Amino acid sequence: MKNGLLQSLQQLVLQSRCAMCQRLSFGLICPDCRRQLETCQLAIPLAFVDMLPLLAWGHYQGPLKQLLGRLKYDQQAQVARLLGQLLGVTWLETQSHHRQPIVVPIPLHKVRQRERGYNQSALIANSFCQFTGLNVMLNGLVRVRATAAQFSLSPQDRLTNVSEAFRVGPELAQKSRGSKIVLLDDIYTTGATINSAVETLSQAGFQVVEIVVVAKA
């Protein structure tokens, strides 16, 4: 019995492969890939956009871009856990002592979420909040209409594509006005999506105190 268990454990360990290079690895990613991933980490993670703090773990390039791509295939839960933890470490190092903000991930539209089966930002938000101890509200924001895939649009169309794309979810609507919100997304590119979410929340009386993203383009 004991030997059987040991064998199963050994098989489990030996079967795990690096999420980036697919070589056999003891952890989610192998030491080589870990080192490469760390080259993407920003030296100064905190910036400001329109007076709002924007915290990003890394540059959207090379290994980090590859790992975020992996979120869309298999191993998504494990990759999200790792990314949420990396982001959590950075957040704890730079936090400006907001009292109990609610973490709200940027939602996917229902149709796209059904196609993919999950919202990668929600998975990262869960891990981030487990690590930091913050409260998460996965359905704090709801998409109100599908948006065409951003990459297929010109920069100008990207801006209009996401306008009025969100509404406050029923659970968040019950929270007191003035509640502090941290918005979380996987990638920050033009900022159009985030701006639209900030506007929706502000109009409903909530205070967005920070934006946190895994990667900044």
Query: Which residues here bind Zn ion, judged by CB under 5 A?
Result: 18, 20-21, 30, 33
Q: Which is nearer to Zn ion, 27 or 170 (CB)?
A: 27
Q: Which is nearer to Zn ion, 21 or 142 (CB)?
A: 21
Q: With contact defined as beta carbons under 8 Å apart, do 175 and 102 qualify?
A: yes
Phi, psi (degrees; rounded to nearest 5) at 59: -80, 140
SS3 content of the chain, % helix, strand, coil (to 5): 45, 20, 35
Q: Which is nearer to Zn ion, 21 or 42 (CB)?
A: 21
Q: With contact defined as beta carbons under 8 Å apart, do 147 and 192 qualify?
A: no
Q: Which is nearer to Zn ion, 36 or 147 (CB)?
A: 36
Q: With contact defined as beta carbons under 8 Å apart, do 209 and 181 qualify?
A: yes
The SS3 assignment for 201 reads helix
To the nearest whole angstrom, how small is the minimum distance from the Cβ of residue 102 to Zn ion?
A: 35
Q: Which is nearer to Zn ion, 33 or 198 (CB)?
A: 33
To the nearest whole angstrom, how small is the minimum distance from the Cβ of residue 73 to Zn ion?
A: 15
To the nearest whole angstrom, how small is the minimum distance from the Cβ of residue 56 to Zn ion?
A: 23
Q: What is the largest CA-CA distance in the chain?
A: 64
To the nearest whole angstrom, how small is the minimum distance from the Cβ of residue 68 to Zn ion?
A: 15
CA–CA separation, 11 and 6 (whole Å):
9
CA–CA separation, 129 and 75 (whole Å):
20
Q: Which is nearer to Zn ion, 63 or 101 (CB)?
A: 63
To the nearest whole angstrom, how small is the minimum distance from the Cβ of residue 29 to Zn ion?
A: 5
| Partner residues linked to 136 by β-bridges | 103
To the nearest whole angstrom, how small is the minimum distance from the Cβ of residue 17 to Zn ion?
A: 8
CA–CA separation, 204 and 81 (whole Å):
31
Q: With contact defined as beta carbons under 8 Å apart, do 46 and 55 qualify?
A: yes
